[in-house]
Chain A
């Protein structure tokens, strides 16, 4: 599904290398988790994959279902099936959540040459999905993320994911700032989307999310590289011992 090979990324504005050769491959139907110390480059990886400005790829490649995504516009990547749940969802004053989501759903459909979703179908779908995530009607009407609590913003990301039905979902610390119940809701939201055709890359600092979303593979990222890859037990090791031992291993 998602293939990242030897990806090197520096900041556009300054001479700072952030990703120093990332290799990662997420197969359809699988959930991969990335853990790693603060500042190791996890969010940078997710931003570069989704096409944010300010980064320069100096080496390597990234493909989604065999297609090179690095040359695509962000909206083309989205239409191709990539979705990023932001670590810090952006507030957009004046744009209603509903309007935003309907525009997004239909823009993607149009880009893929599919028929637009009717207003009625959209309404039905969003009501159902919002209910599952305990997002009330009022939050749907409000401007995107404006005045939302930290947890509400994260649930709103999952709602978007549920509506857009992407093929490849990257979740950047979607668990941070969530209370225990909200974490369960978010995990249920993710699990509901798990199927054979969809890949997940879940960035997290905590084992707890992974209790709910059982990963198939766990990667440890440090200083712009994947330094270790293993099974779910790797997350437990981090939870118990921190990164010191792992970092020492590769040093």
Chain B
């Protein structure tokens, strides 16, 4: 089963190794790991997705907390959250076959961020299933995928909750139904992103 953890960690050399080493020692495969700055100075935020037994969540969180550089751990579990992943996909396309790709990109609310004589680069943001959907369709269409770069999942809980509050709230009965959790993953700031790409 996939588990998703958000960990706030000190932004110091070696912290990533300590976190990664913990999963290695527990013999748990990390499916994806994203790291970047958080809202706090000197604190990085990690989203860790791993494949482990359904009961492993407690032990993983407890073990993460044992690392001196880990400040906060949130086992996102099934609670209401937004999950996103960004992918860059380069496909082989000539001027003749481009329009097909443009159409697909439109349907998936993705965008083209680079155009070269023999290739195009697609940027897509959303939940994993949406990204995988686009990749599948591109494959089925016979569009040759040249390169894929994916960030892995990033998550944030909905509403104004620190993980402490959520910890206290983590009781059966308040969990939202499954369908409310999964989100279509539409990029909220199309305009901004279009400007950035210059297209």
Please indicate whether A and B come from the same complex rather than being unrelated chains: no
